[in-house]
Amino acid sequence: MDFESDVRKALKSAGIKEIQLESPPNPEFGDLSFPCFKIGGPAKAKALAVAIKPKGLIAKVEQVGPYVNFFVDTKKLVRSVIKEVLKKDFGKGNKRGNALIEHTSINPNASPHVGRARNGLIGDSIARLLKFNGYKTEVHYFVNDIGKQIAMLVYGTMEMTGKPKFEELLRHYIEINRRVMENVQLEKDILELLHQVETGNKKVIKEFEDIVAVCVKGLTKILMIGRRIAVDGKPFQKNLKKRWLKSKKIILIH
């Protein structure tokens, strides 16, 4: 059902051939207006308002000066819209091509808070819309497995016996931050850890991998709520052309 189409049909049935509709400046004057300046002014508008009866999505017809004002039947309109929306694949597009969406990708050194989780909701909604419109989508969550935050966690947990629990990481991170603020040398030591990873120190790389494994396991557990998740890629995989480190990625499967 289409309100404008109903209005045009009603005017055409009343003998109007040239139909130019306007949007009233005030809702009190209806949802669509038909000006009658060129076909008889107020008198013609009054005659049309009497002749045209409510039908379809037209709830009421009124004459105000040289205008015929049409009011939409909101109840019928809402029912027709809901009925259309509930049809299978309503609004679905037929786009072709691939869409790669990378979102959320929060620092893995602690569990996500509400503000960070918001990015996941937005990103996932965008991915679903693109997929619904026909795109072949792939969603990536890149884990920062080589940043300063991980180096700080490694440094802050080096003296521990056994691996830390994911729930403890934030406390360790806050504590090492406090210590860095009090001792500038600690920051230099942390940056040296990063340098050791980049130069291929296997012992330090193993320490980074252990912390990253705890981070990824904890984040995956959180992100798996209502989802299927595949973890792809290998941390610290060397690129032969560039001595950069390749991040692990979590692919969200829709």
10 Å CB burial of residue 213 (0-12, 13-18, 19+) is middle
Q: Higher pLDDT residue, 225 or 64?
A: 64
Q: What is the mean pLDDT of residues 124-140?
A: 90
What integer pLDDT is reported at residue 1 of this predicted model? Answer: 67
**Which residue type, as a one-letter code, is found at position 45?**
A
Q: What are the residues whose beta carbons fall under 8 Å from the beta carbon of 227, sequence distance 6 or more?
A: 252, 253
pTM over cut 0.85: no
Structural domains for the chain? 3-78 (3.30.1360.70), 93-254 (3.40.50.620)
CA–CA distance, 218 with 164 (Å, rounded to integer)? 11
Q: Higher pLDDT residue, 18 or 92?
A: 18
Q: What is the mean pLDDT of residues 163-186?
A: 88
Percent of the chain at pLDDT exceeding 70? 87
Q: What is the mean pLDDT of residues 15-33?
A: 94
Determine the 3-state secondary structure of 34 from DSSP: strand
